[in-house]
Amino acid sequence: MLYLDLIVDNDTDRTDSLYTYGCAFDGVAVGARVFAPFAAGNRERAAFVAAVKDEPGEGVKGLKYVTRVDEEISLDANAIEICLWMKKRYYCRCIEAVRCFLPAGRLSKRGRRRTPALEEAPEDGRVALTGEQAAVLDRILPQIDGGGYRTFLIHGVTGSGKTEIYLRAAERTLERGRTVIVLVPEISLTPQTIGRFVARFGRERIAALHSKLSAGERYDEWMRIKNGEARIVIGARSAVFAPAGDIGLIVVDEEHEGTYKSDMSPKYDAIEVSVKRAIQTGATVLLGSATPSLVSSYRVEKRLYERLRLCERHNKTPLPRVQIVDMREELKNGNKSIFSLALYRALDETLAAGKQAILFLNRRGYSTFVSCRSCGYVMQCEDCGISMTYHKAEDEAQCHLCGARRALPPACPDCGSAYLRFFGTGTEKVEELARELFPAARVERLDFDTARKKGSAAGLLARFHKGKTQILVGTQLVAKGLDFDNVGLVGIVSADVSLNVPDFRSAERSFQLITQAAGRAGRGVETGRVIIQSYKPDHYAICAAAENDYAGFYGTELLLRKAMDYPPFGDLVQIAVSSQDEAVCAAAADELAGLLRARADAVSQRRILGPGEARIYKAGDLFRRLIYAKVPPRDREAFELFLAQRKRTLAVGKDSGKYSIFVDVNPYSYL
pLDDT band at 180 (very low <50, low <70, confident <90, very high): very high
Question: Is 631 strand, coil or helix?
Answer: strand
Domain spanning 2-101, CATH architecture: 3-Layer(aba) Sandwich (3.40)
Residue 256 has pLDDT above 70, yes or no: yes
**For range 403-428, the mean pLDDT:** 90
Distances (CA, A) of 453 to 178, 211, 447, 459, 654: 35, 12, 11, 11, 47
Would you tell me how many other CB atoms lie within 10 Å of the CB of residue 203? 15
Which of 271-280, 293-302, 630-639 shows the lowest mean pLDDT across its residues? Answer: 630-639
Domain(s) of CATH 3.40.1440.60: residues in the chain? 2-101
Q: In 128-233, which ranges are continuous DSSP H helix?
A: 131-146, 162-175, 190-201, 215-226
Share of the chain above pLDDT 70, in %: 98
Range(s) of the chain covered by CATH 3.40.50.300 = 131-310, 321-364+427-560
Distance between CA 241 and CA 181 in Å, rounded?
Answer: 9
User: Over the stretch 453-464, which tens digit does the pLDDT of each residue have?
Assistant: 766 887 888 899
In the predicted structure, residue 208 carries a pLDDT above the cut 80: yes
> Is residue 481 scored above 70 in pLDDT?
no
332 exposed, middle or buried (CB, 10 Å; 0-12, 13-18, 19+)?
A: exposed
Q: Which residues contact 114 (CB under 8 A, 6 or more apart)?
A: 108, 214, 216, 217, 219, 220
Average pLDDT over residues 340-347: 97
Model confidence at 65, pLDDT cuts 50, 70, 90, reads: very high
User: Torsions phi, psi of 161, nearest 5?
Assistant: 95, 35
Contact 148/218 with Cβ under 8 angstroms? no
Predicted pLDDT at 605: 79
Closest listed residue to residue 249, CA positions, set 291, 218, 226, 277: 277
**What pLDDT was estimated at residue 540?**
96
Output the pLDDT for position 197.
Answer: 93
Separation CA 590–CA 596 (nearest Å): 10
Tell which residue, 253, 298, 294, has the closest CA to residue 274.
Answer: 253
pLDDT, tens only, 416-445: 999 888 888 999 999 999 999 999 999 999
**pLDDT > 70? residue 122:** no
Helix (H) or strand (E) holding 277: helix 270-281
- For 121-125, 260-264, 280-284, 655-659, which range has the lowest pLDDT when averaged over its residues? 121-125
Three-state SS at 233: strand
Position 473 pLDDT exceeds 80: yes
Q: Give 90-113 pLDDT, tens digit per residue.
A: 999 999 999 999 998 888 877 788
- Name the range with the highest mean pLDDT among 275-279, 395-399, 527-531: 275-279
The model's confidence at residue 369, banded by pLDDT at 50, 70 and 90, is confident
Q: Is the separation of the CB atoms in 6 and 19 below 8 Å? A: yes
Rg over alpha carbons for the chain, rounded to the nearest Å, is 26
CATH fold of 571-665 reads Alpha-Beta Plaits (3.30.70)
Domain 321-364+427-560, CATH number (from 3.20.20.150, 3.90.650.10, 3.40.50.300, 3.40.50.2000): 3.40.50.300
What is d(CA 116, CA 203) in angstroms, rounded to the nearest whole number?
A: 11
Please determine, for residue 52, whether its predicted confidence score (pLDDT) is greater than 90: yes
The values of phi and psi at residue 535, to 5°, are -95, -5
Q: For residue 418, what is the DSSP state? A: S
Chain Cα centroid distance, residue 158 = 20
Q: What's the whole-number average pLDDT of the chain?
A: 91
Closest CA to 512 of 189, 294, 316: 294
**Residue 42 backbone phi and psi in degrees, to 5:** 55, 35
List the one residue out of 419, 429, 327 whose CA is nearest residue 370.
419
CA distance 409 to 420: 9
Query: Looking at this protein, which amino acid is placed at residue 427?
Result: T
Domain 131-310: assigned CATH number: 3.40.50.300
Q: Say yes or no to pLDDT of 385 above 80.
A: no
Residues 253 and 256: their CA atoms lie apart, in Å, by 9
CA distances from residue 657 to 12, 14, 274, 396, 651 in whole angstroms, order as listed = 11, 11, 35, 38, 8
Choice among 48-52, 139-143, 248-252, 620-624 with the minimum mean pLDDT: 620-624
Does the structure show a pLDDT above 70 at 614?
A: yes
pTM of the model: 0.90
Whether 21 has a pLDDT exceeding 80, the answer reads yes
**For residues 415 and 565, what is the distance between their CA atoms, to the nearest angstrom?**
46
The helix or strand, by DSSP H or E, that contains position 592, with its residue range, turns out to be: helix 582-598
DSSP lists the bridge partners of residue 333 as none
- CA dist 406 and 382 (Å) reads 10
Is a pLDDT exceeding 90 seen at residue 573?
yes
